[in-house]
């Protein structure tokens, strides 16, 4: 590669856009028109790796000269994935299940460049412990935060004082794009030095 390749983020997530911008790289966004695998019984590491690769492969197929970054995040609690809630009732139920418990947040990453044959897959996990709370806290949280586009029905960056006790690992992973791991794969892909 003589000139730096175009980087495309294969994600509609505004949080991923904001996080990727923190790395100081220029990029464009192309949303992958794919149906993600969201079976809650699937191993979460397998699910997020599959979905990240699905998004990256779809966009890379249409932009073969570009570096394409796909990502997918889910929340995992007691043997089941908690993906994006379908509606407010499901978001309430997810928050009730998470109350007073520790869960794991998994993100899968996939970097592709078809013209170079580049395929890098990686991932990250972090743990989040929720405070114990009642329904009035759930209602207060739902009145302040749009939860339907967030795995587990919450965003750690949105009013954490209401629901979060503590977390371990990468905060950016919990938000949706683990920056250290992303930086490493972009370096391996030749975009960063």
- What is the pLDDT tens value at each position of the chain, 193 positions in all? 445 669 999 998 999 999 999 999 999 999 999 999 988 889 999 999 999 999 999 999 999 999 999 999 999 999 999 999 999 999 999 999 999 999 999 999 999 999 999 999 999 999 999 999 999 999 999 999 999 999 999 999 999 999 999 999 999 999 999 999 999 999 999 998 7
Other CB atoms within 10 A of residue 68 CB: 30
Among 39, 43, 72, 122, the one annotated catalytic: 72
Q: Determine the pLDDT at residue 41.
A: 84
* Residue 6 DSSP label: P
Contact at 8 Å (CB) between 107 and 177? yes
What tokens appear for 124 in the block?
Answer: 């990250």
The CATH code of domain 7-188 reads 3.90.950.10
| Active-site residue, 72 included | yes
């Amino acid at each position: 590669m003589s000139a730096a390749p175009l980087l495309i983020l294969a994600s509609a997530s505004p949080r991923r856009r904001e996080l990727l911008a923190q790395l100081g790289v220029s990029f464009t966004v192309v949303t992958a028109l794919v149906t993600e695998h969201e079976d809650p019984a699937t191993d979460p590491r397998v699910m997020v790796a599959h979905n990240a690769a699905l998004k990256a492969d779809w966009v890379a197929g249409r932009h073969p000269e570009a570096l394409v970054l796909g990502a997918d995040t889910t929340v995992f609690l007691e043997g089941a994935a908690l993906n994006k809630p379908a509606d407010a009732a499901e978001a309430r139920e997810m928050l009730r299940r998470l109350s007073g418990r520790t869960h794991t947040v998994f993100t899968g990453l996939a970097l592709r460049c078809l013209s170079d044959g580049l395929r890098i897959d990686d991932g990250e996990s972090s743990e989040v412990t929720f405070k114990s709370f009642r329904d009035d806290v759930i209602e207060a949280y739902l009145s302040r935060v749009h939860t339907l586009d967030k795995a587990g029905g919450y965003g750690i960056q949105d009013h954490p004082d209401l629901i979060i006790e503590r977390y371990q690992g990468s905060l950016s992973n919990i938000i949706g794009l683990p920056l250290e791991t992303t930086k490493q794969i972009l370096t391996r892909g030749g975009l960063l030095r």
